[in-house]
Amino acid sequence: MNRRTIGYFVLGGTLLVALMLLSAATMARGGTLTQGDATAQQQTIEAMINQGLTQTADVMLLTQAPTLTAALEGTVMRGIQLTQTAVEAYPVTQTAEFEATAYQATRFFQATALQQTQQAYAYDAAATAYAATFTAYNMGMTQQAAATATTQAIQTQQVATATAAAATATYESATPIPQPVTPMTVDNRSAVRQLAVLDGHSSGINALAFNADGTRLASASDDGTVRIWELRRGTTRLMLPISASFQDLALSMDGTLLAAASGTDGGIVFVWDAITGTTVITLSHTGVYSLYFWSDGTLTTVSQSEFITWDVRRGEMIAVEAAEAVGVVDDEYPSARNPWDAGLRAYAEQNDDRVFLRDTSTDSARTFLGSHNADIRTLRFSPDGRWLASGDDSGVIVLWGIRDYAEDDDTAEPLTIATLTPTSTATITPTFEPSLTPTPVLAPVVSLTPTPTTDATAVAWPFTASPAWYTMHTGAEGCQWLSIAGWVTDLNGQPLPDLAVEIASADDTFRMVVFSGSAAVWGPSGFEAVVGSAPRAATFTVRVLSPTGLAASEFVPVETGDTCQTNVAIVEFVQVRPY
């Protein structure tokens, strides 16, 4: 029993005694001594006795009441004091007990926290040691990877050097192939002959594409490769492994980009660097069957529903148009339309090895060129109309054109071509190849018989050139630049835009075609070809090509400068006679 309970018991007992005393006093005061049928005297006496008892009781009550009240009050006050004492003493004890318990708990928690902190320190130390080990491991792996990469780079360079040397040796040992001397037309198609056979692919040819000046040919084959051929000697200049079947190929006019439309990869168009073979970008256009590069480097991809023009360097769409603007797909397959003469078409029958030329204006006259040893798959004219390539099921490519046989045999009778005046539909927008820019302008007469001269070195070229002079590149690139630039003027000294200018390295490892008027910084007929990213001494040649793709000037030698003050070579071409 705690102190609070004891206090309440004492207080309750005291209150009970007080109540009993008050009850007895009340009974003494109000008690009756009447005895039945007593006389009046007795009644009086009894009344007096009762009165006396009452008075006595009152006196006793009045006399004892203060004492009883005081005692009662004292008892009550004692109970209150005991209760207060018990109440006051209880929290102290409990607080002491709680403090003791709390102290013990605090000590326990502190001990536990200390132990956990020490354990955490141990974990942290272990983690630090692990991190140091991991860093050392990474450093070792990085050093090993660097060593491996260096070894691989050396091996790759050795392979590349050996490959380049082998390619150079192959090229130099290859026999030059006859070159076509004039574009094919409806009128001269009977003079077309086989010029060369390109034998390198081991399976069927799916697509062919020439560059602008007809010095390169790209071919895609089922053997899993795309090749770029050099057409002066018929050697492979670049070979790319592929995993898709291509519907069409296109080479940019400057020969630096190669595009291919895949027929098996969900409408993907691949664009490669045609010099190094690295991937430039991949574009998405479902159902593409034809490609065309424009003179500004943009690429048009053609499908049955639309054709899209792209900025391939940025991978951005420039224009989208409905397919009705392209025309109707030709029903003959395989076939090719001559972009130089809209009336001339090359074709082969289905599952046939023979190549024909046809005048589409008559729809009946055709000229048989020759046969492959396997069925023809694809045909392609060069943009200048001088070359025709045919590819067959076995992987063989045959080149056709008009050549001057007097180059090989002084006794051979040269071909006589009366005129090269084009038909009225010379500028066209063909189904597979939009019309070239610029629009060709033909010379009135081209003779295939060399003109005798008294001086063997005198050649009456339509254009002459000034010796190269040098200046500094003023663009943001500064010294990180090497280029050959200039301009072309006509007989009246006026700017002459839209003529092809060919720049080539002396070792034939670099070749580019640009157009006059494409570099406004050098005037309305200015041109510029970037040939390097830093000044260096090297030898190049520059010449102007006529709209027919033939040489219109002699080769102008240019020695590039190796200083920042001479990192742009300038050549000015001036027309001196009609072409």
- pLDDT band for position 159 (cuts 50, 70, 90): low
State which amino acid sits at residue 194: Q
Mean pLDDT, residues 489-506:
89
**CB half-sphere exposure, 562, CA atoms < 13 A:** 4
- Of 96-105, 268-277, 452-461, 495-504, where does mean pLDDT reach its minimum? 452-461
Do 325 and 341 meet the contact criterion of CB atoms below 8 Å apart?
no
Comparing 56-60, 66-70, 283-287, 420-424, the range with the smallest average pLDDT is 420-424
Q: How far apart are CA 418 and CA 347, in angstroms?
A: 26
Q: Which residues pair with 241 in a beta bridge?
A: 225
Task: Quote the mean pLDDT of the chain.
Answer: 76
Q: Would you tell me the crossing angle of helices 3-30 and 40-173 to the nearest 10 degrees?
A: 160
The two beta strands, 344-347 and 469-471, are unpaired
Rounded Cα distance between 77 and 85, Å, is 12
Q: How confident is the model at residue 366 (pLDDT cuts 50, 70, 90)?
A: confident
SS (H, E, C) 453-483: CCCCCCCCCCEEECCCEEECCCCCCCCCCEE
Torsion of CA 296, 281, 215, 402, to 10 degrees: -90
The maximal CA–CA distance of the chain, rounded, in angstroms, is 201
| 474-485 pLDDT, tens digit each | 888 889 999 999
Please compute the mean of the pLDDT values over residues 5-19 and round it to a whole number. 55
Q: What is the mean pLDDT of residues 59-79?
A: 72
Where is pLDDT greater, at 440 or 10? Answer: 10
Distance separating alpha carbons of residues 18 and 69, to the nearest angstrom = 8
pLDDT of residue 56: 67
229's tokens: 């051929």
32 pLDDT exceeds 50? no
| Arithmetic mean of pLDDT, 61-68 | 69
Q: What's the chain's length in residues?
A: 579
Query: What are the backbone dihedrals phi and psi of residue 288, each rounded to the nearest 5 degrees, phi first?
Result: -70, 130
pLDDT at res. 42: 64
**For the purposes of burial, counting CB atoms within 10 Å of the CB of 449, is it exposed (0-12), middle (13-18) or buried (19 or more)?**
exposed
Q: Rounded CA gap, 503 and 510, in Å? A: 8
pTM: 0.46
**What is the gyration radius of the CA atoms in the chain, in angstroms?**
57
Name the β-bridge partners of 310: 299, 317
pLDDT tens for each residue of 426-473: 333 333 333 333 333 333 333 333 333 333 334 468 999 988 889 888
DSSP secondary structure string, 337-353? E-SS-TTEEEE--TT--
Taking residues 193-215, what's their average pLDDT? 91
Give the model confidence (pLDDT) of 262-319 as tens digits. Answer: 866 567 889 999 988 888 988 888 888 888 888 788 999 888 888 899 998 888 899 8
pLDDT of residue 28: 47
As a whole number of angstroms, the distance between CA 165 and CA 171 comes to 10
When mean pLDDT is compared across 28-37, 162-171, 548-557, 570-579, the lowest value belongs to: 28-37
Give the H/E segment covering residue 377: strand 376-381
Q: Which is more confident, 347 or 409? A: 347
The distance from CA 434 to its chain's CA centroid, rounded to whole angstroms, is 28
**Banded model confidence at residue 375, pLDDT cuts 50, 70, 90:** very high
pLDDT of 204 reads: 92
DSSP notation for 100-148 = HHHHHHHHHHHHHHHHHHHHHHHHHHHHHHHHHHHHHHHHHHHHHHHHH
Residue 507 predicted with pLDDT over 90 = no
What's the Cα-to-Cα distance from 430 to each of 167, 284, 556, rounded to whole Å?
36, 23, 36
What's the confidence (pLDDT) of residue 484? 95
Indicate whether 331 pLDDT > 50: no
pLDDT mean over 250-257: 88
Count the helices and strands in the chain (H runs, E runs).
2, 29
Q: Is the pLDDT of residue 244 over 70?
A: yes
Which 3 state secondary structure label does DSSP give 426? coil
